[in-house]
């Protein structure tokens, strides 16, 4: 029988509320089938809708399932932070002081609490290295640029299948007018540097036609994997800020930092904008 469940909508990474990337969080996903979860995620039409469940391992505080309009993801960044905020707001008590542990299909993800900010530890990448020539040519063609404008390229896949092209400047990234019909299954980003002394180090755009999201306003998982790549090679400092969402009328700020042991943390604002119920 359908029953009423708590729903929270959290704006993640916004410089002000309603300027980042929203996630819909169902705080009790028990007894829901895969099809019921997918139907709701398709209906909300957000980049992700999540369902909180009891953990299946003793180390975790809760288990999370993450759905896009087109399918389920093993891990995603802004849903991780938004769901953690919703769980805490709903009365969740972490097993450990100062941090909580989320269980998802990609494994266990640590979420650190610091004053009014939450940060997640970047999970391991499942694929790294440069793109092959065929993949690179398809993306370059879809982006409408020449290969010479690509400074570097890399698989930055921590579950969703991300790849990224680095261009010389943030302005070049913002000027892109990609034809996603040429890469309908792609999960790809473009990143470029702002001038030294700017508020942000990089501008990032994320395109995910492969899961029904043409352009994501703010992507935590891609920022996490790019952070692992750039900080490990010395192409970025151990702490920096990324601007995202400009071309889709958002204003997101993502903070990336790397510990001495190489652990990369991604943090940003998590503002609860809607509290309500849903009948499922």
CB 179 within 8 A of CB 142: yes
Per-residue H/E/C for 197-256: CCCCCEEEEEEEHHHCEEEECCCHHHHHHHHHHHHHHCCCCCEEEEEECHHHCCCEEEEE
Burial class (CB in 10 A: 0-12, 13-18, 19+), 89: middle
Pairing between β-strand 150-155 and β-strand 117-121 as defined by DSSP bridges: unpaired
Q: Which of 35, 48, 148, 172 is catalytic?
A: 48
Active-site residue flag, 48: yes
Joined tokens for residue 268: 């940003």
User: Alpha-carbon distance 166 to 154, whole Å?
Assistant: 9
Contacts of residue 48, defined as CB under 8 A and 6 or more positions apart, other chains included, come to: 23, 24, 41, 66, 67, 68, 73, 76, 78, 79
Total length of the chain? 280
Closest CA to 8 of 83, 92, 68: 83
Joined tokens for residue 87: 């769980």
Q: What residues act catalytically?
A: 48
């Amino acid at each position: 029988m359908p029953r009423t469940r708590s729903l929270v909508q959290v704006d993640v990474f916004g410089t002000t509320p309603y300027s980042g990337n929203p996630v819909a969080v169902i705080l009790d996903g028990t007894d829901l089938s895969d099809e019921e979860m997918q139907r709701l995620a398709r209906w909300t039409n957000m980049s992700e809708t999540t369902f909180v469940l009891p953990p299946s391992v003793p180390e975790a505080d809760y288990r999370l399932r993450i759905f896009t309009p087109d399918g389920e993801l093993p891990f995603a960044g802004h849903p991780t932070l938004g769901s953690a905020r919703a769980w805490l707001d709903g009365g969740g008590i972490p097993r450990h002081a100062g941090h909580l542990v989320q269980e998802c299909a990609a494994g266990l993800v640590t979420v650190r609490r610091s004053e009014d900010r939450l940060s997640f530890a970047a999970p391991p990448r499942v694929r790294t290295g440069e793109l092959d020539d065929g993949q690179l040519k398809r993306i370059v063609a879809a982006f409408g640029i020449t290969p010479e404008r690509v400074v570097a390229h890399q698989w930055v896949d921590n579950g969703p299948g991300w790849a990224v092209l680095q261009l010389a400047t943030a302005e070049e990234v913002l000027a892109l007018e990609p034809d996603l019909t040429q890469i309908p299954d792609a999960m790809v980003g473009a990143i470029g540097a702002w001038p030294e002394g700017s508020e942000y180090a990089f501008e990032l755009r994320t395109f995910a036609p492969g899961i029904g999201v043409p352009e994501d306003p703010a992507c935590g998982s891609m920022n996490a994997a790019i952070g692992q790549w750039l900080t490990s090679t010395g192409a970025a400092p151990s702490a920096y800020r990324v601007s995202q969402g400009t071309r889709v009328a958002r204003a997101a700020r993502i903070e990336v930092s790397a510990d001495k042991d190489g652990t990369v943390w991604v943090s940003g604002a998590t503002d609860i904008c809607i509290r309500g119920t849903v009948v499922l």
